[in-house]
Amino acid sequence: MSAPSDPVIRPLRADAARNHAAILAAARSALEADGADVALEEVARRAGVAPSTLYRRFSGRDELVAAVLEDYVAESVEPLLARAAADEDPWGALTGVLEGLVDGVTRHRGLLAAAKAVGAFTPELAARTLGPLGELLRRGQAAGVVRGDLEPDDLLVVVHMAVVTAEHDSRRWPRYLDLLLDGMAVGRPRAAGDLRP
């Protein structure tokens, strides 16, 4: 799922590194399957380790969730932002990245809920995504296709709004993202004027 996270002081022993990765992977799937407040003992069980091993590696739920989130952002979110930055069409880049974010986050709602609960969204983590997002927004506004009274923070809120619609019907979020995009646009630059079903 990920490289063993940087062994700053001293490399982890091979078995320890394996367990570290197994715990992260188990936590991610357990959060989806059992919800944000899954028992850490369940995570340990899925990883095939004893609870004490999990607690030795992570001080508690907060640290574990933060590590999983960091993992997810580095692996899924940042590449998406990088790809969008290379897109030459301002509207396409912005909608593409929002769509990608919502699609990804929708599949990891448990992780996100847990991260919210333990306060794992540090200012630094937010800044890592807000920088590129703000740049995409600025480009769209400069091109005159995105309304000028939107701020970078608003984009995270838009993603959040689209994601929660998955609680009503997990396959219908594109419809509601369309609705939001129509509100964000100047004129109606979307290809098709109708909301997706």
Binding map of DNA across residues 41-80, x = CB under 7 A, - = no contact = xx-----xxxxxx-xxx--xx-------------------
Size of the site for a second copy (CB under 8 A): 28
- Site membership for DNA, residue 165 (CB under 7 A): no
Size of the site for DNA (CB under 7 A): 22
Q: How many residues does the chain have?
A: 197
**Phi-psi region for residue 119, left (φ > 0), alpha (ψ -120 to 50) or beta?**
left
CB closer to a second copy out of 35 and 60: 35
Contact, 96 vs 84, CB < 8 A?
yes
> Rounded CA gap, 63 and 118, in Å?
9
Contacts of 68 by beta carbon, 8 Å cutoff, 6+ apart: 24, 27, 28, 31, 111
Contact partner at residue 184 from a second copy, DNA, none, CB < 5 to 8 Å by partner kind: a second copy
CB closer to DNA out of 41 and 151: 41
Residue 167 in tokens: 């609680």
> Rounded CA gap, 56 and 50, in Å?
10
Residues 146-175 close enough to bind a second copy by CB under 8 A: 147, 149-150, 153-154, 156-158, 160-162, 164-165, 167-168, 175
Q: Name the residue among 26, 34, 171, 27 with its Cα closest to residue 106.
A: 171
Provide the binding-site residues for a second copy, judged by CB under 8 A.
37, 116, 147, 149-150, 153-154, 156-158, 160-162, 164-165, 167-168, 175-176, 178-184, 194-195
Provide the binding-site residues for DNA, judged by CB under 7 A.
12-16, 18-19, 39-42, 48-53, 55-57, 60-61
